[in-house]
Amino acid sequence: MTTNALRGIIVAVFHSPIIANGVSMARKNAFYAQSGGVTSVINASAAGVIEAARNSDIIDKVYAGRNGIIGALTEDLIDTSLESAESIAALKHTPGGAFGSCRYKLGDVETNRRQYERLIEVFKAHNIGYFFYNGGGDSADTCLKVSQLSETLGYPIQAIHVPKTVDNDLPFTDCSPGFGSVAKYTAVSIKEAALDVASMCATSTKVFIMEVMGRHAGWIAAAAGLAKDKPEAAPHIIIFPERVFDKEAFLKKVDQCVADYGYCVVAVSEGARYADGSFLADAGSVDAFGHKQLGGVAPVLAQMVRDELGHKYHWAVPDYLQRAGRHIASATDVEQAYAVGKAAVEFAAAGKNAVMPAIKRQQDKPYVWTIEEAPLAEVANVEVGMPDNFISEDGFGITEAARTYLAPLIMGEPDTPFKDGLPVHAELKLVAVEKKLNDHFEI
């Protein structure tokens, strides 16, 4: 029997009604969790999953993992069925991770079998047959491993990855939900800061440097370029991880901009690196996934400007602000984030496993997109950087091709309720599901 035939039998059995005392027991519960760095729209994906599940024929309840996959391992589950429809809808305009996120990497099943046995114990105890994991490339890897439980350990589970990452580095998808809003935040912030600097440059600050996220891919830095609507407009310099940092060329460009315009505004990706591959801002430590912790490239560049050119400078690191800024989110991004969550449930209902809803661009103007499926085996642990033709010849700006790609992703201002001058966010009950296992699992 072929693998595909076996998988078909597993899915058929999984969806076949089980009658007990005259009651159909076909519906299973679903596990949903958020992973990695959150975004201003990740909760819109949660709303997409939960609302679609409530309208599905295959899912009874959605249990959210408190703090990502850790919630599954520790049997710390949240019963989303106890949240009102209004509260779930409010997730669409609430930043952060409503159920808590984590940076936790599952090991290989061969060497960390106990982790997977524990997942099965929890899933069995709570009748969980669907697994929706909302995160980036590392989260796709976790989801892929869970999707293989049917074949490796004999437990029927369908695992669907719900894409999210401000870095915009997932393959197959036109963009990653979360990116459009951070791109908009970046473009708006650099545009507004430039007006501030321009007004003071005659007697004060002449160089302003803004550091943005992006370890290996310069998508967010590139988004700053959307603010440059004429040659003299900021940002005057963008520094990408995809280009080797040339100190001499950088300082020459800064000095020339100050001479030509009176000031210079720089957008730099945190992943800027030298020719030997080392980061300008390597903090010397790594996170749970083995990624280097970066210690701040903006002050490094600012010191170069001070030491070599003597210009008065300021620098800023938006850090969490750029990914939490729901008040200035992209309506397109919110719509796409919700759509991939909804599509994940639809994929599960169709018997899919080990796939990710991917956004497919149909045309640029007007921007038209659809949802397709992408194989998790080809998504997990794959990072996509910017194409060469998106970076200008001098390496310090974006091209028209990049602008054509980026511009639709920041379009639209979604409805955001305000009260007393502040945005209104979802307030969830977050009621824990009663534990059925008596043992303690060590993380």
Domains for the chain: give ranges and CATH numbers: 3-165+328-381+414-423 (3.40.50.450), 179-323+393-410 (3.40.50.460)
Mean pLDDT for the stretch of residues 57-70: 98
Instruction: Name the residues annotated as catalytic.
Output: 167
Mean pLDDT for the stretch of residues 336-361: 98
Contacts of 243 (CB under 8 A, 6+ apart): 218, 391, 395
- Which is more confidently placed, 8 or 319? 319
For residue 311, what is the enclosing H or E element? none
> Each residue of 379-393: pLDDT tens digit?
999 999 999 999 999
Please give the mean pLDDT across all residues of the chain: 92
Query: What integer pLDDT is reported at residue 16 of this predicted model?
Result: 43
> Each residue of 74-92: pLDDT tens digit?
999 999 999 999 999 999 9
Query: What integer pLDDT is reported at residue 25 of this predicted model?
Result: 46
129 CB neighbour count, 10 Å cutoff: 23
Query: What integer pLDDT is reported at residue 440 of this predicted model?
Result: 87
Query: What integer pLDDT is reported at residue 282 of this predicted model?
Result: 75
Residue 422 pairs in a beta bridge with: 419
> Each residue of 409-426: pLDDT tens digit?
999 999 999 999 999 999
Q: Is the pLDDT of residue 336 over 50?
A: yes
Query: What integer pLDDT is reported at residue 191 of this predicted model?
Result: 98
Q: How confident is the model at residue 242 (pLDDT cuts 50, 70, 90)?
A: very high
Cα–Cα distance, 339 to 342 (Å, whole number): 5
Cβ(130)–Cβ(31) below 8 Å: yes
Q: Is the pLDDT of residue 3 over 80?
A: no
Cβ(185)–Cβ(331) below 8 Å: no
Query: What integer pLDDT is reported at residue 24 of this predicted model?
Result: 38
Q: How confident is the model at residue 294 (pLDDT cuts 50, 70, 90)?
A: low
CA distances to 145, 195, 281, 385, 437 from 217, rounded to whole Å, are: 25, 27, 15, 5, 43
Q: How confident is the model at residue 291 (pLDDT cuts 50, 70, 90)?
A: low
Omega within 30 of 0 (cis) for the link into 235? yes
Query: What integer pLDDT is reported at residue 344 of this predicted model?
Result: 98
Residue type, 441: F
Residue 172: φ, ψ to 5°: 75, -35
Q: Is the pLDDT of residue 121 over 60?
A: yes
Cα–Cα distance, 108 to 128 (Å, whole number): 22
Query: What integer pLDDT is reported at residue 438 of this predicted model?
Result: 87
Q: In percent, how much of the chain has pLDDT > 70?
A: 91
| Burial degree of 229 (CB within 10 A; 0-12, 13-18, 19+) | exposed
Local structure of 239: helix, strand or coil:
strand
Q: Is the pLDDT of residue 17 over 80?
A: no
